Amino acid sequence: MFFFDSQIWFIISFSLPLLMWFISKNKNNSSKSRPPGPPGWPIIGNIFDVGMMPHQNLQKLQSKYGPVLWLKLGMSNTLVIQSSKSAEEIFKRHDLAFSDRNIPNSFTAFGYNKGSMALAPYNDYWRMIRKLCSSELFLHKRINASAPARQNCIDLMIQRIKDDSLASRVNGESGEIELDKYLCLMTFNLIANFMLSRDIMDLKSEKGNEFYEAMKGFMEWSGKPNLVDSFPFLKWIDPQGIRGNTGKSLTKLLNMVSGFLRERVQEKLSGKVKETKDFLDVLLERNDDGKGTVDELSEKNVTIIVLEMFFGGTETTSGTIHWGLSELIRNPKSLKKLQNELDQVIGRSRKVEENDLNKLPYLQAVVKEIMRLHPSLPLLLPRKAVKDTEFMGYSIPKDTTVILNAWAIHRDPNLWDEPLMFKPERFIDSKIDSKGQNFEFLPFGSGRRSCVGMFLGDRMVSITLARLIQSFDWELPRNVSPDSIDMREQMGISLRKLVPLIAIPFERHD
Ligand code: HEM
């Protein structure tokens, strides 16, 4: 959505004829009451104010303009919310009025957006899928039943980390590993097992490699700020080639998921009976048993929804664990405390399991603290006003993009003591949770469009982190100290660590 490089000048010259129209439109709007905001440039508006790190730059504007901000991003009216009070106002009073989504151009290839749940407008199709998710797909019962498959994926990752680190030591090297690579593969398989009862990411298999490369390509291209999102009339030109490239990856991904779907249909036809139903079984049943709006849950839409769960559940989860281990290594006291809790409650002779998680209050506090400092989607997923709306005394026109800066709220010194410090203790004996009812802490959003996979996401982060801490002592390579770990951020489809964590695992024994 945001863009800051030389192509901007292409757009300026291309769009000069629009200038007069734009100015006159602004004049017409100026009589209405809008929130305060920095003055914008003709045509491009406030694109430079937002830049490549929108969550950080928007937070800086707060001291001058307050927590409710009005921006013009190209042709798009934009409302920015940066305080827990205004977030509460949105979610408690205006959730319905702001329940549509903006559709990034990169997600429009092959009609992806038409089958998507995350990008669907607030309509019957979205309601049907969302209901299906909450009543059948993301039930605690189903999440619990799939725990053994997750345990296997994590076992495999731990074994690979041990093997690779050992192999490096045998070669006379330090034994260091780049954790992120292992996390990415594992989270793909966690989601694949939840939805399709199979591993997808075996890099030794050609198909696994192809899926991984296509996924990586899609994530990289769709995470780039796209000029077309601010100037929709440019979509025919696609000046940065983003839609072209995401389109190529999407074709591959949709074809592959569609292949999994056809295999499952064949299995069913051949009478193969599965003991437990997975996500795909439920979607396919829905597709052929005549419940609900069956036409809309076509084979294509089932394919898109399955793929969407990979988009929604992999980067967010692996990114959070990556930040988490980095924070723990930077804060050895917290790491030790967590290890002690695991040793006392679980011991070293057996592996921590998902049904142990509610006996581990410090682990739960650590996970919340990671999500507070490093929310995967710092601006949530932008929403769109369904209609003209009066909001906190301002008039917000239909189709305004609504951005909630959760990252800024999570670091607000009026809400959090020493907000930049990693202090899991702040969540011990606190009633604040991540389900969207506490407006100072919104890692999964809130209201109708909050994260549909929040329980699964929370579960995957907690159990993986617990296993990594229970299984290994972690040290840093020579020349790196806890204080010098590079914690800079990189904004793409989610907020990731710019420089991957490199660390040395030492197996912990009984
Ligand atoms: C640590 C893990 C995760 C984090 C931090 C996270 C965060 C979020 C956030 C902030 C939103 C937008 C909420 C809003 O706009 O108010 C969202 C939406 C969504 N998430 Fe997640 N998520 C995670 C895991 C997952 C998983 C595991 C899945 C599925 C397997 C998933 C699927 C989705 C979907 C489909 C939406 C769109 C919901 C809608 O528009 O109705 N997420 N997520």
pLDDT tens, 418-442?
Answer: 999 999 999 999 999 999 999 999 9
State mean pLDDT over 87-110.
Answer: 93
Q: Residue 137: pLDDT band by 50, 70, 90 thresholds?
A: confident
CA distance 88 to 442: 11
CA distance 250 to 248: 5
Length of the chain: 510
Query: How far from 409 is each of 61, 65, 135, CA to CA, in Å?
Result: 13, 15, 31
Q: Is residue 440 part of a domain?
A: yes
Q: Is the beta carbon of 324 within 6 A of some atom in ligand 1? A: no
Beta strands in 98-235 (DSSP E): 100-101, 177-178
CA distance 261 to 266: 9
State mean pLDDT over 70-76.
Answer: 93
**451 known ligand binder:** yes
CATH number of the domain enclosing 435: 1.10.630.10
Q: Is residue 1 part of a domain?
A: no
Q: Is residue 474 part of a domain?
A: yes
Q: Is residue 2 part of a domain?
A: no
pLDDT in tens, 240-267: 999 999 999 999 999 988 888 888 888 8
Q: What value does the CA radius of gyration of the chain take, rounded to a whole number of Å?
A: 23
Q: Is residue 146 part of a domain?
A: yes
Q: Residue 409: pLDDT band by 50, 70, 90 thresholds?
A: very high
Residue 384: closest CA among 104, 33, 9, 161 = 104
Can you name the residues that pair with 448 across neighbouring β-strands?
none
Domain range for 126: 7-507
pTM (two decimals): 0.91
Can you name the residues that pair with 178 across neighbouring β-strands?
502
Q: Is residue 493 part of a domain?
A: yes
State mean pLDDT over 367-388.
Answer: 97
Q: Is the beta carbon of 494 within 6 A of some atom in ligand 1? A: no
pLDDT at 394 over 60: yes
Q: Whose CA is nearest to atom 21 of ligand 1?
A: 451
Q: Which atom of ligand 1 is nearest to the CA of 194?
A: 30
Q: Residue 328: pLDDT band by 50, 70, 90 thresholds?
A: very high
CA distance 165 to 468: 14
Query: Do 46 and 20 contact (CB within 8 A), yes or no?
Result: no
Give burial (CB, 10 Å; 0-12/13-18/19+) of 415: middle
pLDDT on residue 48: 92
CA distance 167 to 160: 10
pLDDT on residue 17: 47
Q: Residue 202: pLDDT band by 50, 70, 90 thresholds?
A: low
pLDDT at 83 over 80: yes
Q: Is residue 427 part of a domain?
A: yes
Q: Residue 369: pLDDT band by 50, 70, 90 thresholds?
A: very high
pLDDT in tens, 377-387: 999 999 999 99
Please state the domain count of the chain: 1
pLDDT at 146 over 80: yes
Q: Is the beta carbon of 381 within 6 A of some atom in ligand 1? A: yes
Q: Residue 280: pLDDT band by 50, 70, 90 thresholds?
A: confident
